Structure 1
């Protein structure tokens, strides 16, 4: 059961740095090894860049959420949700031009290995395109809980928010789950559809990082 002291609401732009710190701590053992391949820790300049990207995303309409412990007013977890839908509100499907325009690759950080960076984004982009095609959907880009606050129900609360939005819109929901996160998503009707991996040993790294692509069917579908 979720902790009664936890609440979920939209992140504010001036809270972007707190979200960034949680994301950095949560990704330390997997995604950070991709994003910051060339050195163990990113520079402060890079962390500032990530913080600006989060604040800019909020301004652009991306749904960044926070989970707050009301006993301390501390943000302990966060999520990044987006509604991917046609530009034409009367259409039930996106055009392929819209699909391709959404699947971009941002500029790598100073600490990134350009080939690793591009391989990571290419893998995720091509998988989304293959699995979702031109259909509208809600996507959970990121779900992060600070390691000091695991098993309090924060992740489930943040996940439930987006699932409700997808149900309201009558669409599927999409995500790439870490091996640790997969059981949580299954409890919210996400179904595994594909296994994907990025083998960092190709570039001198130490491991292969794996994800399970999961799709939650639209409400009322079989």
Structure 2
């Protein structure tokens, strides 16, 4: 289906449950094994917390998006983008205090292994700190496509949506990808910046997860 047959819309208070359900479905074979490593399935209370956190994020200006088929309204994909910028509108870069505040970890869920949680998010935070420093950027925290709608272009539309806004502001974009997802992001100008690894066998699991931190240079910037 051509990209013109899709529509991108912001998540609203009414559509938070749709986004949460899609996220949970797509993450089930991978990320959920990290987030909910004790049992791989969150409780209703945890799912309610996820929904509440997203609703709170909407109020704070986090950009949650849905991609639907225009003709049917079928939900195909979703994403979470954030605009990381200085608190001072006149500043070109953030202070290190702002950087550290932005990297504060959320509390683990009751179903989480605290060691695994601190390991993976500690690595992600170190990547952002080391690679991006105090510079402003757009970050794609989440990209999920329904398993029945892969390779239709919806994920690419959501990637392009954030990249266009990063270019408008003249800042770089950043994300953490699986090796499988790396080629897709490369098509939009993202370059590998750091490899990361989470060995869940240390925390009672049986899998090793690999991630690639990827950076897209700011418009007009020479690749580093």
Q: TM-score, normalised by structure 1?
A: 0.96
- State the 1:3 CA deviation: 4.1
What residue in structure 2 maps to residue 177 of structure 1?
A: 177
- State the 1:74 CA deviation: 2.3
SS in 1 for 2:177: strand
Aligned equivalents of 1:132 and 1:149: distance in 2? 33
Larger mean CA deviation between 162-171 and 102-111 belongs to: 102-111
- Which structure 1 segments of 5+ residues have no match? none
What residue in structure 1 maps to residue 142 of structure 2?
A: 142
- State the 1:192 CA deviation: 0.7
- Does 2:173 match 1:152? no
SS in 2 for 1:13: coil
- State the 1:115 CA deviation: 1.3
Larger mean CA deviation between 131-140 and 107-116 belongs to: 107-116
What residue in structure 1 maps to residue 44 of structure 2?
A: 44
Aligned equivalents of 2:88 and 2:12: distance in 1? 29
Query: Are the counterparts in 1 of residues 3 and 157 from structure 2 also a CA contact under 8 Å?
Result: no
Aligned equivalents of 1:22 and 1:59: distance in 2? 21
- State the 1:4 CA deviation: 3.5
Output the aligned Cα RMSD: 1.2
Query: Are the counterparts in 2 of residues 178 and 211 from structure 1 also a CA contact under 8 Å?
Result: yes
What residue in structure 1 maps to residue 26 of structure 2?
A: 26
Partner deviation per Cα, 1:106-136 (whole Å, 9 max, x = no partner): 1111111111111121111111101100001
Query: Displaced runs of 4+ in structure 1, greater than 6 A?
Result: none
SS in 2 for 1:29: coil
Aligned equivalents of 2:56 and 2:74: distance in 1? 22
Query: Are the counterparts in 1 of residues 138 and 162 from structure 2 also a CA contact under 8 Å?
Result: yes
Query: Are the counterparts in 2 of residues 13 and 54 from structure 1 also a CA contact under 8 Å?
Result: no
- State the 1:2 CA deviation: 3.6
Query: Are the counterparts in 1 of residues 116 and 203 from structure 2 also a CA contact under 8 Å?
Result: yes
- State the 1:30 CA deviation: 1.5
Partner deviation per Cα, 1:39-85 (whole Å, 9 max, x = no partner): 03111221111111111111110001110112321222111001111
Task: Map residues 22-101 of structure 1 onto 2, 5 A cutoff.
Answer: 22-101=22-101
Aligned equivalents of 1:170 and 1:98: distance in 2? 20
Q: TM-score, normalised by structure 2?
A: 0.96
Aligned equivalents of 1:2 and 1:56: distance in 2? 34
Number of corresponding residues: 222
- Which structure 2 segments of 5+ residues have no match? none
What residue in structure 2 maps to residue 193 of structure 1?
A: 193
